[in-house]
Structure 1
Amino acid sequence: MTRLRHIFRAHQPTLLKTASYYLIHIVVAACVAYAVTRNFWASLTLSLLEPTVQAFAYFFHEKAWNRAQMRKSQAMASQPALEPSH
């Protein structure tokens, strides 16, 4: 359990953002699925399945973007400053 707590703390902002996105996505997906199917059970199934897969994809997408931004910042920091020409 300690390892799980450590993982949650290390990724807490991204996990909380993912959870809020997940809830919004479920509501929107349920409304759209019900409007299309007019079937409560089909809309419930679709609204839980698709956002669940999207939530996992979003988490890893966010981590990849953060890693890319960090690499870009490190690359820019390691470049020598240009001196103005006279």
Structure 2
Amino acid sequence: MIKTITFAAMHFTVAFSVAYLITGDVLVGGLVAMVEPAINTVAYYFHEKFWQRFSQADRQQLADTMMGLAESQALR
């Protein structure tokens, strides 16, 4: 859970900085920094839980499949 919290803190900072630099508005920067990373952090948490259910062999097979798809797209 510590990893998730530190990821959230970093993400909030990046989201605020980008939104503020684009808009120049502290309120918009704050709103974006609160909403987008909060949703993304929850998604990240569940992604990690889902990923842990795969065995190492399953992860390797998935990686091989993804690489094969990427290579076939690159050849087009």
Q: Same fold (TM over 0.5)?
A: yes
Compute the RMSD of aligned alpha carbons: 1.8
Name the % identity: 33
What is the TM-score with the length of structure 1 in the denominator? 0.63
Q: How many residues are treated as equivalent by the alignment?
A: 59
Structure 2 segments unaligned to the other structure (5+ residues): 59-76
Q: Which residue type is aligned with residue 19 of structure 1?
A: I
Q: How far 1:69 moved relative to its partner? A: 2.8
Q: Does 1:21 align with 2:7?
A: yes
What is the TM-score with the length of structure 2 in the denominator? 0.71
- Describe how 1:1-86 pairs up with structure 2 within 5 A: 15-69=1-55, 72=58
Structure 1 segments unaligned to the other structure (5+ residues): 1-14, 73-86
Q: Return the index of the structure with the highest Cα Rg.
A: 1
Q: 2-side partners of 1:43 and 1:69: how far apart?
A: 40
